[in-house]
């Protein structure tokens, strides 16, 4: 039996891509899921799929950059399922804008969506998890947190910041048995892909492949933490980029 059986996972950015695949993978492990995104129709459709699988899910329309909306998300999760055990901070956007062409509005949008949202959700998660003495938070980073892509200053800054936030959460969570970790995907076939580089056919990983690893990181005894993970294509020019 999976450790996740009967536990409650909040997944942001759950209306498509990695978030949607994570939600389905958690349900496959017996977890209950709380789905957060702005696209309500997609969330409701995913709930219907999960219920058809025999699982339980709650859709909460959420702008994860909004403090009140995030608090409502966690209040709704606790009201429905009684607690929150796992949080997947997956919501994010990509951007490929040169620094001299980037507006302040774009900068704020990327930072708030990719980084501030993780702060807000992690803060809300800590407030639930500290009282019960366990919990797990996984932030979805990027290989741009190791080697940035050209012409992506806001995206790179947000993912490097997310890495720093994760390290801080991991330290602050130790006293309360809250594990914080980060997963860095390579090229994934999702709507977020910026299309900055032409890729060979069938080069990108599927969201399901990535979700399988993320859920595996969560399917551990409470005293263990799979702190950092990364999945990249074998021939991805990662270290040299290109």
* DSSP line for 44-60: HHHHHHHHHTT--EEEE
Look at residue 234 in the predicted model and tell me its pLDDT: 80
Catalytic residues: 155
The runs of H, that is alpha helices, within 58-152 are 67-81, 104-111, 117-129
User: Nearest CA to 162 among 177, 184, 147?
Assistant: 184
> What number is the average pLDDT over the span 23-39?
97
Cβ contacts of 234 within 8 Å, gap of 6 or more: none
**Tens-digit pLDDT profile for residues 91-135:** 999 999 999 999 999 999 999 999 999 999 999 999 999 999 999
> What number is the average pLDDT over the span 12-25?
96
Q: pTM here?
A: 0.93
Look at residue 242 in the predicted model and tell me its pLDDT: 46
More confident residue, 147 or 121: 121
| Tokens standing for residue 168 | 């801080």
Q: How far is CA 57 from the centre of its chain?
A: 17
> Parallel, antiparallel, or unpaired for β 228-231 and 178-185?
parallel
Look at residue 191 in the predicted model and tell me its pLDDT: 60
Residue found under tokens 């048995």: 177
**Tens-digit pLDDT profile for residues 45-103:** 999 999 999 999 999 999 999 999 999 999 999 999 999 999 999 999 999 999 999 99
């Amino acid at each position: 039996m999976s450790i996740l059986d009967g536990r409650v996972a909040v997944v942001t950015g759950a209306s498509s891509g990695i978030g949607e695949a994570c939600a389905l993978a958690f349900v496959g492990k017996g977890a209950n899921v709380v789905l957060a995104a702005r696209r309500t129709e997609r969330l409701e459709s995913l709930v219907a799929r999960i219920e058809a699988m025999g699982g339980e899910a709650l859709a909460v329309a959420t702008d994860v950059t909004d403090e009140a909306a995030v608090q409502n998300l966690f209040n709704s999760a606790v009201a429905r399922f009684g607690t929150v055990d796992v949080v997947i901070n997956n919501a994010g956007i990509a951007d490929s804008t040169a620094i001299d062409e980037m507006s302040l509005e774009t900068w704020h949008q990327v930072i708030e969506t990719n980084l501030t949202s993780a702060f807000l959700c992690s803060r809300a998660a800590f407030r639930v998890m500290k009282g019960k003495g366990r919990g797990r938070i996984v932030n979805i980073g990027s290989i741009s947190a190791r080697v940035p892509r050209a012409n992506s200053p806001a995206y790179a800054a947000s993912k490097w910041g997310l890495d720093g936030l994760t390290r801080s959460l991991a330290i602050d969570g130790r006293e309360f048995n809250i594990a914080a970790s980060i997963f860095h995907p390579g090229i994934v076939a999702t709507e977020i892909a910026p299309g900055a580089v032409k890729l060979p056919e069938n080069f990108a990983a599927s969201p399901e492949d990535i979700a399988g690893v993320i859920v595996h990181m969560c399917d551990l005894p409470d005293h263990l933490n799979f702190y950092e993970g990364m999945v990249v294509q074998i021939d991805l020019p990662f270290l040299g980029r290109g």
